Copies of this chain bind each other. A is one copy, B any other.
Amino acid sequence: MVSALQALHQHPSAAGASPAPDSGSPLGVDVLPPSTPYLDLDVGAAVTRYRRLGAALPGTAVHYAVKANPDPALLVALVAAGCRFDVASPVEVVAVLEAGAAPADLVYSNPVTRRTDIAFAAQRGVRLFVVDSLEETAKVADAAPATSVLCRIVTSGEGSDWPLSRKYGCSTDQAVDILRAAAEAGLDPAGVSFHVGAQQHDPGAWEAPIAASARIVERIRRDGLHAWMLDLGGGFPAHLEGGAPPLACYGAAIELQLRRHFGANRPRTIVGPGRAVAADAGTLVSTVIGVVHRGGTRWVFLDVGVFSGLVETLDEAIRYRLRTTADGGPTGPCVLTGSTCDSADVLYEKAPVQLPLALAEGDVVRLLGAGASTASYSTVGFNGFAPLPTRLV
């Protein structure tokens, strides 16, 4: 399928760039690009969300997690607004530096990374790396000598819609060992990092890891080591179905815990939001390709799905708010599904969605709060369905 897929990739709207996706240029031989799906991205709205998060967390530096949405126009606008960045790969380093960010404003937050990738980041001026093991601490000391490291500790992930596995983060005891080892290896044991899980509904989720971080900082201080930074991670919610407390509640809860556990010895704090900045700046625009009734169930098929941007609907974890061109009349339950032939390409079935009974083929369905973790999660073209293009509004 290379010829057709290559054409998809060369189609300007399929590369995450700004041209309108309905520009009509042919895909491959003579497969015309459909007018939907695409992601409408409002860069100004993302900058507003960035500023609101900063205002809710005075004194805390905001590092946008590039993985949420690496659109270059978004990165440029965030740089201009004073944002810093959380990156996890050489390509992300290059993307934010090209957008104008200073390398000193980056935290390389991938705790287990290819050695050459660490060296690449260090050569580009990145000075702050996250680790969560003795092995990776030694690797950073080798590939990026004399830089600073944060040790990531594990959290429960409770209260989060897209909970963390045990993939990253060590215990507090291990963190103490790791920061000591970092110092012995000539690194700066800068402090502690954690993540409470994406789309975290409970502002109190930061309490336990802040308390643990304070214990770690206190223990290494007895060794004469000065930990000066605390990375409070992401998890700040977007406006999805079911709602979430306002950002100010998160700021107040975090401020309280920082005072309680660190007192006058408060470290510099940073956060690494992705979804909270980008999600509400994006609307995924799709079209109903069919409505079918089988066995008493109404199935609504969209022209977008799990493999073209909606991977976070797996297990129905992230529930987008829906608006349709048929809104206004009576509604009823339906299963919402994508259009590839993969049986996993079902968006919401266990908890069906309420959609207008009049909804029909050709109606437009908008998924709100879809600016994060969508376009960059698209497959290269599974089943012949193109990646989700972005349109700047």
Give chain A's interface residues, CB within 8 Å of chain B: 1-6, 8-10, 15-17, 27-32, 34, 66-67, 70-72, 75, 87-92, 94-95, 98, 109-110, 112-116, 120, 132-136, 139, 157, 162-171, 174, 197, 289-295, 297, 299, 301, 303, 307, 311, 314, 335, 337, 339-346, 349, 361, 375-387
Would A9 and B15 count as touching, CB distance under 8 A?
yes
Would A3 and B133 count as touching, CB distance under 8 A?
no
Question: Assuming the A-B contacts A113-B289, A377-B307, are A1 and B165 also in contact, with contact meaning beta carbons closer than 8 angstroms in the complex?
Answer: no
Q: Hey, which chain B residues are within 8 Å of A314, CB to CB? A: 314, 344
CA distance in complex: A380, B378 (Å): 6
Question: Assuming the A-B contacts A70-B1, A167-B337, A290-B139, are A383 and B112 also in contact, with contact meaning beta carbons closer than 8 angstroms in the complex?
Answer: no
Residue of B nearest to A69 (CB): B1
Would B112 and A294 count as touching, CB distance under 8 A?
no
Q: Hey, which chain B residues are within 8 Å of A301, CB to CB? A: 112
Would A91 and B384 count as touching, CB distance under 8 A?
yes
Residue of B nearest to A291 (CB): B135
Q: Which of A89, A109, A307 has the most CB of B within 10 A?
A: A89
The complex is assembled from copies of this chain, and their number is: 2
Question: Assuming the A-B contacts A109-B341, A376-B379, A381-B376, are A4 and B292 also in contact, with contact meaning beta carbons closer than 8 angstroms in the complex?
Answer: no
Would A1 and B381 count as touching, CB distance under 8 A?
no
Residue of B nearest to A342 (CB): B67
CA distance in complex: A139, B297 (Å): 19
Would B376 and A2 count as touching, CB distance under 8 A?
no
Question: Assuming the A-B contacts A2-B71, A95-B384, A132-B292, are A167 and B343 also in contact, with contact meaning beta carbons closer than 8 angstroms in the complex?
Answer: yes
Q: Hey, which chain B residues are within 8 Å of A6, CB to CB? A: 9, 15
Q: Hey, which chain B residues are within 8 Å of A113, CB to CB? A: 289-290, 339
Would B381 and A294 count as touching, CB distance under 8 A?
no
